[in-house]
Amino acid sequence: MWSVQRLYKRNSLDNEDFVESMVEFVKQPTLESAKHEEAISQLGLMPPMPLPDEMLKKIAAYILEEQFPPPCEHWRIAAQRADQKGDKEHAMKDRRQLKRFCNE
């Protein structure tokens, strides 16, 4: 959720826009409105969430306000796996994230 929150914050005008754009996306996901291109390429487009708007707004507000920790362990494992596969570019990317957000 850390990266989802960051992407929505970067692509939103303000908190209201954050909540509105997240609600609209989860109600009717499209490739054009997707903000996390890497997730789409790896996992595909999510199905619509058939929940009431008020519940979706509360979930989006929670995602906006929560202090999610960066996925440091994910980056450590990903860097190791990339090294094992010989994918130096991916390993360097994950190590940059570790250094930038995890003080490593």
Mapped to the 3 state alphabet, what secondary structure does 87-101 carry? CHHHHHHHHHHHHHH
In angstroms, the CA 48 to CA 27 distance is 5
**pTM for this predicted structure:** 0.80
Q: What is the pLDDT along the chain (104 residues), one digit of tens a residue?
A: 999 999 999 999 999 999 999 999 999 998 888 888 888 888 898 999 999 999 999 999 999 999 999 999 999 999 999 999 999 999 999 999 999 999 87
Positive/negative CA dihedral, 96, 98, 100, 103: negative
In angstroms, the CA 50 to CA 46 distance is 12
